[in-house]
A and B are shown apart, each in its own frame.
Chain A
Amino acid sequence: MLNTLFSGDFPRSRWLTGLLLLIAVALLLAPFLFPGSRPLDTAAKVCIFIVLVASYDLLLGYTGVVSFAHTVFFGMGAYGAAIALAKVGPGWGALLTGGALGVLSAMVLALLIALFSLRVRAIFFAMVTLAVASAFAILVSQLFHITGGEDGLSYSLPRELTPAFRLVQDKVFDVRIDGRLLTYYLVLTACAGLFLGLLRLVNSPFGRVLQAIRENEFRAEALGYRTVLYRTLASCIAAGVAALAGVMMAVWARYTGPETTLSMDIMVNILLMVVIGGMGTLYGAVVGATLFVLAQNYLQTLMAGLSSAVSGVPVLPNLFAPDRWLLWLGVLFILSVYFFPTGLVGRLRGTGSGR
Chain B
Amino acid sequence: MSDRLTHGTPLRPPLLSLSGVHTHIGQYHILQGVDLDIPEGQLTMLLGRNGAGKTTTMRTIMGLWQPSRGEIRFDGAGLAGLPTPEIARRGIAYVPENMGIFGALTVQENMHLAARSGPMDSARLDWLFEVFPALKKFWKSPAGSLSGGQKQMLAIARAVIEPSRLLLIDEPTKGLAPAIVSALTGAILQLKSFGATILMVEQNFAMARAVGDTVAVMDDGRIVHRGLMADLAADKALQERLLGLSMDMHQ
Interface residues of A (CB under 8 A from B): 205, 208-209, 211-212, 214-216, 218-227, 280, 353, 355
Given A219-B96, A221-B83, A224-B116, answer yes or no on A355-B88 (Cβ-Cβ < 8 Å).
no
A223 to chain B, nearest CB (A): 6
Give the contact stretch, choosing among B38-46, B99-107, B173-181: B99-107
Give Cα A353–Cα B106 distance, bound, in whole angstroms: 13
Query: Are A209 and B113 touching (Cβ within 8 A)?
Result: yes
Query: Are B64 and A222 touching (Cβ within 8 A)?
Result: yes
Which A residues are in CB contact (< 8 Å) with B104? 211, 214-215, 280, 353, 355
Give Cα A349–Cα B94 distance, bound, in whole angstroms: 34
Which A residues are in CB contact (< 8 Å) with B105? 208, 211-212, 215
A279 to chain B, nearest CB (A): 11
Identify which of A209, A227, A280, A353 contacts B144 (C-beta below 8 A). A353
How many contacting A-B pairs (Cβ < 8 A)?
61
Give Cα A94–Cα B163 distance, bound, in whole angstroms: 53
Give Cα A223–Cα B87 distance, bound, in whole angstroms: 9
Query: Are B89 and A222 touching (Cβ within 8 A)?
Result: no
Give Cα A280–Cα B105 distance, bound, in whole angstroms: 12
Give Cα A205–Cα B108 distance, bound, in whole angstroms: 12
User: What's the tally of chain B residues with a CB closer than 8 Å to chain A?
Assistant: 23
Interface residues of B (CB under 8 A from A): 62, 64, 83-85, 88-89, 94, 96, 100-105, 109, 112-114, 116, 142, 144, 158
Which B residues are in CB contact (< 8 Å) with A208? 105, 109, 112-113
Which A residues are in CB contact (< 8 Å) with B142? 353, 355
Residue of B nearest to A212 (CB): B102
Which A residues are in CB contact (< 8 Å) with B116? 223-225
Query: Are B88 and A222 touching (Cβ within 8 A)?
Result: yes
Which A residues are in CB contact (< 8 Å) with B112? 205, 208
Give Cα A209–Cα B113 distance, bound, in whole angstroms: 7
B142 to chain A, nearest CB (A): 7
Closest 5 CB pairs of A and B: A224-B88, A221-B84, A222-B94, A219-B100, A215-B102
Identify which of A212, A215, A224, A227 contacts B89 (C-beta below 8 A). A224
Give Cα A209–Cα B105 distance, bound, in whole angstroms: 10
Residue of B nearest to A354 (CB): B104
Query: Are B102 and A211 touching (Cβ within 8 A)?
Result: yes
Query: Are A216 and B100 touching (Cβ within 8 A)?
Result: yes
A10 to chain B, nearest CB (A): 13
Identify which of A214, A222, A353 contacts B96 (C-beta below 8 A). A222
15 contacts between A and B (CB under 8 A): A208-B112, A211-B104, A215-B102, A215-B103, A218-B64, A220-B113, A221-B85, A222-B84, A223-B88, A223-B114, A223-B158, A224-B89, A225-B113, A226-B85, A280-B104
Which A residues are in CB contact (< 8 Å) with B89? 224
Query: Are A224 and B85 touching (Cβ within 8 A)?
Result: yes
Which B residues are in CB contact (< 8 Å) with A215? 102-105
A125 to chain B, nearest CB (A): 19
